[in-house]
Amino acid sequence: MPVFHLIPADVLEVVAPDAPSGTREETSAPIWPAPNVLFTAWHALWHAVHPQVQLWEHNHATGRNGHYPDRGIRLQRFGSLTSAGPFPCLPAATPPGWLFVSPADLGSSPDTSEIMRINGPISHGAPFCDSRTTPVSRSDPPSVPAYAWGTKQMIEDYLRGTPVSPNHWRQSKEFCIIERIARPNGLRGKSLIPDPNAPNRFCLRLTDHACLGAYASMPLKEASYREGFDLLPATEGLAFRMGGGGHVVRMSRHSPDRLDAWLPLSQPVSGTRAKWLLLSPAIFPRASSSQNKSDRPHPGGWLPTWVDPDSGQVLLRRGKTERGSKSREEWRRRIRELPFLDCRLMGAAVRPLISIGGWSERKHLRIDDPKAQPGPRTVWTAVPAGSVYYFEGPDAPWLGQALAWHGQEQESPQEILHRRSTLLGEQGFGLGVCGPW
């Protein structure tokens, strides 16, 4: 699978929320591009390289989650495109690797995450009971800086319960320089003052020894499902726009292209307890009873939509869930016949939620569609990377495989199998790894 290193020509423009104090500190959420920023850049690159529809590309109907108003009209191009990242990358390190946000249950600041046990119903988005009581023992001392970054090996050590020295966790300032972009002025009365409703924009400048690490794939519409990125002309050094302000990054395909060389792997779960660590943000939208397949409303937010909001019961199925050559209807019918995994959400360490938005040129819509004009994308609330969920039940080993990005494949996994974000999983949301607690 293609693994890329992306080097900004100058800076990247990033939209991010302010810290509670209005300043950026080490305890603030890291300034880093969200997965959708990179996915949108990949998509725009393919539109630029192939402005006309190609016979080998997958085209999809507009819509999601089984709701397609015009199922017979397939205007969304490059439908098989998937990506992951970007992650901070230190290619000159020994060994070279990507960096990941530190787990929330290791943070030293009580204001950045809440580690809580669930003691009762959690419907209507109510907070956990017994706030800040941890359901697990810390494997590291509480001096680990909040929102630090760790290597693949450090994340795997954390999952297996091996202590990691606080001195090994990195701060963002070690590989990038962040500068705030002044808010645009707005006319209020007779004075020009900064517009308080304008988003917070930052310039992110990587140091000389850092770059962006990413994965992307686009199987072609043919019998052999060849990799579409092999068709890109002059992949090495190819430049394309990413993020706001028209800033450019240059790409290089990197070796090894095995995902397990860059992404952490889950650690074996043999008992009745499993914890799930998010490597990338995840989106769990609120759903009304008419939208939810269980015919009951779901609060979303921090709570995964595959967890029952009243009992904490996991609603993922146990058994073979791969689609294979079956039709979508046959596959869904077989999935509905499988039993639920016998596990329950017991607690979580969830950092403050973040907003995911963006801009769209709307090239995937019909010309006569009133929404075909360029405009802002829907803004979603997401659980940030580093959040940890704790589960318990006799099916914990199977749940660990169902939540891990690589499934049950421990030896050289070749693709991302599970993206447990309800929305935008193909864009890199909902990647996670599991271990015992």
The overall average pLDDT reported for the chain is 77
Among 405, 279, 318, residue whose Cα is nearest residue 1: 405
Q: Do 257 and 1 meet the contact criterion of CB atoms below 8 Å apart?
A: yes
Asked, as a colleague might, if the bond just before 86 is cis with ω within 30 of 0, I would say: yes
| 175 torsion bin: left (phi>0), alpha (psi -120 to 50), beta (else) | alpha
- Name residues whose C-beta falls within 8 Å of residue 54's C-beta, 6 or more positions apart in sequence: none
pLDDT surpassing 90 at residue 87 = yes
pLDDT surpassing 60 at residue 266 = yes
The neighbouring-strand residues paired with 13 are 203, 244
Domain ranges of the chain: 3-435
> In the prediction, which pLDDT does 284 show?
94
> In the prediction, which pLDDT does 19 show?
41
396: helix, coil or strand?
helix
pLDDT surpassing 90 at residue 428 = yes
The neighbouring-strand residues paired with 432 are 278
pLDDT, tens digit (0-9, with 9 covering 90-100), for 131-150 = 333 444 444 444 666 778 99
> In the prediction, which pLDDT does 273 show?
94
227: helix, coil or strand?
strand
pLDDT-derived band at 365, boundaries 50, 70, 90: low
Angle at 340 between CA 335 and CA 344, to 5 degrees: 145
176: helix, coil or strand?
strand
Asked, as a colleague might, if the bond just before 256 is cis with ω within 30 of 0, I would say: yes
Global pTM value: 0.85
Tokens representing 349 are: 């360490």
Rg for the chain (alpha carbons), in Å? Answer: 22
Which whole number is the average pLDDT over 29-51? 87
Tokens representing 309 are: 């909001």
| 413 torsion bin: left (phi>0), alpha (psi -120 to 50), beta (else) | beta
How many C-beta atoms surround the C-beta of residue 108 within 10 A? 16
> In the prediction, which pLDDT does 189 show?
40
pLDDT, tens digit (0-9, with 9 covering 90-100), for 212-262 = 999 999 888 776 678 888 888 766 788 888 887 788 999 988 876 788 889
> In the prediction, which pLDDT does 44 show?
87
pLDDT, tens digit (0-9, with 9 covering 90-100), for 289-325 = 555 555 678 888 899 999 998 889 999 988 777 766 6
Q: Do 357 and 377 meet the contact criterion of CB atoms below 8 Å apart?
A: yes
pLDDT-derived band at 123, boundaries 50, 70, 90: very low
Higher confidence at residue 426 or residue 63? 426
> In the prediction, which pLDDT does 202 show?
81
Q: Could you give the C-alpha distances from 385 to 47, 80, 261, 333, 400, in angstroms and in order?
A: 30, 25, 20, 33, 18
pLDDT-derived band at 54, boundaries 50, 70, 90: confident
Please name the helix (run of DSSP H) or strand (run of DSSP E) that holds residue 288, with its range, or none: none
pLDDT, tens digit (0-9, with 9 covering 90-100), for 5-31 = 999 988 888 876 544 334 444 445 678
